[in-house]
A = this chain, B = another copy of it.
Amino acid sequence: MASEVLERFRPLFQPRSVAVVGATDNAFKLGFHALAAVTSAGFEGEIYPVNPRAGDEIQGQRAYHSISELPQGVELFVYAIPEKAVVPAVREAVERGGRAGVIFAGGFRETGPEGVTLQEELVRIADSVDMKLIGPNCIGLVNVDANLNATFASPLAEFPQGNISAVSQSGGMGNVMLNGIIEEGVGMSKFVSIGNRANVKFADMVEYLAEDPETGVICLFIEGLDEGAVFLEKARRASRKKPILVYNRGYTEKSAQTALSHTGSVASSEAVYHGAFQQAGLLQVCSSQEMAATAKALSMGASLPVNGVFMSTHTAGPAVVISDICERGGVRFPELEPDIARAIGEFIPTHALPRNPLDVFAFAWTDPSLYLRSTDLALSQEDIGCAVAVFVSGAGSGPAFPAREYAEIGRKYGKPVFICLIAPASFMDEMQDAQREGVIVLNTPEKMGETLVNLNRFASLRASQEGNGD
């Protein structure tokens, strides 16, 4: 079953060869950027640029002047051509044995009756040979694991490898999600902008990614759903295997209108979505930044019940923000047990109180061993499930947090450890170093608090799934 699903979508994600129809040397055309994206990503299969008006070469590669000139069996066709040319070009690809397509052009279902008819024809042709189509009206897909960048955005190729995969109707929101992941200093596995969803829908992608061995966490940006029941059923099954995060927008008048013009969705009411997503075991988030931070924590293995949190800090303000957000979201900071409090009280500075959250003042900034000793004691307490250390990064010129030793304490207790490492987004070194040690790092107290709340919500979702006997 798993391998059947993987094989069904293999030509999209792991094609042996890619044709770029509409490839050109003219940088004002999408076809220029589409070919540049495929080649610059280091794709190792054959690449076939196709353009009837080309000379011998396009971007230094041998040019093909029609699809019928291509060898039989090219697997993935990337279409960077106007909508009028798409249907004939897909028909030609089918004749050459094409297995998958990416269609950037708009002008289909989202534009009214004529566009609906055009898209239906497209689906008929593709479905006749089980060819899988991403789009139309999309920016395509990326599979970092296969060095495949079938979009028109070259920078996507520079993405580090990781286990987060993202699916978005909208290419633009796909980019927003990816930027969020970049800023979290982690990598990505697959990115798909599915646009008008000709014959590849959210339900398909959720089913595929649930089986994909490279994907650990699935992120979805949804403006509207068709075949909602099918999606929810497949999502319900998938969410038993991997965490699925959903970011959903388009409830207000103008936003629904914009979503409609976009990919032919009708945005449904907020409450209906919310309830249905929750029942399917999906974790709903409120922004792409929150999604990226939570996806990172889950992808790093923090998907266990969080119970209570122990927090230590050298500066109270950010801890105030984190606990304010956490307590509103149902995350607790258990009181320390008397013997643990007593032991902590023995080494913290005068005036510091041995409680949770623990404020050890600026002393801990120059002597971060205070974090290690207190965390080691606190994590031994049963109702404390994870630890957070708040630390203002010296950004290379001040003290550094002892991430390795901190990670070891987490491993000793089998409990996740976090640093709220206050640093500008442009300073990534310390974050990435700590994450390599296994510490989950968030660089603002707001993201730290939201992530803990989301992990707690995720644990509740999982518990209610188990309660349902799923």
Contact = CB atoms under 8 A, between A and B. Distances in A.
Contacts of A362: 30, 104, 106, 139, 152
Interface in A229-244: none
A315 B106 contact: no
B172 A318 contact: yes
Nearest to A33: B398
A41 to B, nearest CB: 12
Contacts of A104: 362
B261 A333 contact: no
Given A179-B423, A258-B323, A323-B255, A392 B318 contact: no
A179 B351 CA distance: 30
A288 B325 CA distance: 13
B424 A287 contact: no
Interface in A285-334: 287-289, 313-324, 326-328, 333
A390 interface: yes
A208 B202 CA distance: 56
B353 A261 contact: yes
Contacts of A422: 172, 175-176, 179
A324 B179 contact: no
A317 to B, nearest CB: 2
A58 to B, nearest CB: 17
A183 interface: yes
A154 to B, nearest CB: 5
Nearest 10 A-B pairs (CB), nearest first? A170-B317, A172-B315, A262-B316, A173-B317, A425-B425, A252-B327, A255-B324, A255-B323, A111-B351, A254-B323
